[in-house]
Structure 1
Amino acid sequence: MPTAIAVTSADLVLPPPDRQTPNAAVLQQASREHTLERTLAELQVLLDQHGYVVVLCPASLPDRTLHRLHTARSLLESDRIALLRVDLPPLGLAVLALQLRQLALCDFSPGVLASAARLLSHYIYAGAVLGSVAKLDRVPVSLTSHAKSWVPGSQFAVLATPTPQLVKLGSNAAQEQPLLEGPGFGTQLLIARGRLNDDWVTARLAPAWRVQGVAEAPLPAESERWWATGKLVEFAAAIPDITMLYQLVSSVKREDCHWCGLDLIGDRCGFCAAPLLPREQRARTQPAGRELADGGAKVLAPGPAQSRRAIGP
């Protein structure tokens, strides 16, 4: 079975583009109170069925919920659960979960798949059209924009990732509308509408970004908290082609985690959160489970991977 990709809410699960893409696991009890035992049971079932679990958590997830997941991971004494708090808006996180679900069918190890989440998030252009930025704290907001937010009818186009941007949209439809700097590669645009009736994303942004297609999805419940307003139209542009995603991930050099022994890409292990050692230290560090000569006999020296450490350094 492929590595399980899990999310904390059912509205973060997008429909698969084909029959081969596995569905995402939803931790139904993760965000509810007094349900540690049920969270333990959910994670245990996923471990039994898939062996490894990668859980994507939105950055706006309450700390108590994230602490409950970490507690469950510790009680299970499992180093096969990756808890990734991703700083993407909810719709962008749903897109990332879909990409990982697609890649889970490829020949990537669980360690590479988990650490690929950070890589792929840099290629997701996630933002929203907002009716107010007065309470927005996820993207830098100038005092001028904050003041204009109190003017009735004001609207703002905001890009959260990969580079924060904010522009005020004109109230006159004939007025020249400023645009957000978009991706320089082919993407598909996903839109989720809140309590804002506006077609700027489809009429102006999509043609300017030359997207390969536009689709709509329900607005995740977490979006209003993330964007600090219900008057919004959320969007996310990302690479839709599984072949391109595979080439992107496979082109990055793989390393061994010095703590848990899993292979990874980038500068941090997705499972134990251990940072990649500097190059000179990696050259001096022997791999886990190494064989050492002891008086002519071969003995197996225990390494971090063999000690089954469930908590990262």
Structure 2
Amino acid sequence: MPTAIAVTSPDLVLPAPDPHTPPAAVFSSPDVQPLDDALAHAHRLLDVHGHLVVLYPESLPAAHEQRLHTVRSILESDRIALLRSPLPPLGLAVLARQLCQLSVCDFSPGVLASAARLLAHYVHAGAVLNSVTRLDRVPVGLKTHAKSWLPGSHFAVLAHPVPQLVRIGAGDLEGPDYACHLLVASAAAPSEWVTGTLAAGWQVAAVLEAPLPGYSPGWWGTAKLTEFAAHLSDLSVLYQLVASVRRESCRWCGMELIGDRCGFCASPVPAPELRLPSGGTYS
């Protein structure tokens, strides 16, 4: 069975792009999901899928994050990976769906978990905001803060992979240089600047809409926003991207991984000059 992928809110579960992609599971907040229910849910997922990868945002309330660690500790399971992501909510939802797509491929649980950091680099996540006065996750200068008070001001912000901020009409955001889709979410009608100007400038192949995640207003500091995430959608491209990276075994837990950190135990991969030679000892 494919490795189970989970998120921390139902609105981070995007529709599957094809009939073969399983949906992400959900571990809701402690005030919604009692501990016994969370434990039973995790136990069932492990019984069926063998391993579980949980994605959650850096902005997750402390009590909710602690609940995830409590579930893993009580179950005493080294088969649960808890991945804390800096991506904005919509970008995180995109990443979760990409992992769900890849879960049906022939990647081991360790490679799948560590692939989250690789794939995140190819998610261009941002938003159009009417104010940046409460935006604390992207560097904002005092001059820009002052302009937030001007009537009719709107700002385009890219939070990931490289922070950017421009006032709409006075600049453009640098986007991906590869074919991608653009997912857009808004509490009201999406910003025409996103669906028109940005989509054309980034030459996206398709513009799709999704409900605005509940985490988004808090993450961006305002409820008046249009969130967007440009991403790779083709499974064959995602597969090739992950498959092209060298695989190693974690020196701590033994899981297979790609990149510089194990997704399950978070142990870093030693720099090449610090690794033991093939004989196991230094001369």
Structure 2 length as normaliser, TM-score?
A: 0.95
Which of 262, 265, 271 aligns to 1:272? It is: 265
CA distance in 2, matches of 1:196, 1:159: 20
Counterpart residue number, 2:35? 36
Measured after TM superposition, the shift of residue 284 of structure 1 is 4.2
* Contact persistence 2:5–2:24 (CA under 8 A): yes
Alignment of 1:1-313 (within 5 A): 1-28=1-28, 30-32=29-31, 35-170=34-169, 177-195=170-188, 198-284=191-277
CA distance in 2, matches of 1:272, 1:83: 9
CA distance in 2, matches of 1:121, 1:278: 22
Q: Segments of 4+ in structure 1 off by > 4 A?
A: 284-287
Cα gap change, 1:101 to 1:145, in 2 (>3 Å): same
* Contact persistence 2:16–2:97 (CA under 8 A): yes
Runs of 5+ in structure 2 lacking a partner?
none
CA distance in 2, matches of 1:192, 1:150: 24
Runs of 5+ in structure 1 lacking a partner?
171-176, 288-313
CA distance in 1, matches of 2:43, 2:125: 33
- Look up the SS of the partner of 1:17 in the other structure: coil
CA distance in 2, matches of 1:100, 1:250: 13
- Look up the SS of the partner of 1:283 in the other structure: coil
Cα gap change, 1:161 to 1:31, in 2 (>3 Å): farther
* Contact persistence 1:196–1:231 (CA under 8 A): no
- Look up the SS of the partner of 2:275 in the other structure: helix
Structure 1 length as normaliser, TM-score?
A: 0.86
> Identity over the aligned pairs, expressed in percent?
62
- Residues paired across the two proteins, number: 280
Cα gap change, 1:34 to 1:232, in 2 (>3 Å): closer
Q: What CA RMSD, in Å, does the superposition of the two structures yield over aligned residues?
A: 1.6
Structure having the higher Rg: 1
* Contact persistence 1:128–1:158 (CA under 8 A): yes
- Look up the SS of the partner of 2:276 in the other structure: helix
- Look up the SS of the partner of 1:32 in the other structure: coil
Q: Deviations over 1:247-277 (max 9, x none)?
A: 1111111111011100101110010011112
Measured after TM superposition, the shift of residue 283 of structure 1 is 2.9
Cα gap change, 1:204 to 1:253, in 2 (>3 Å): same
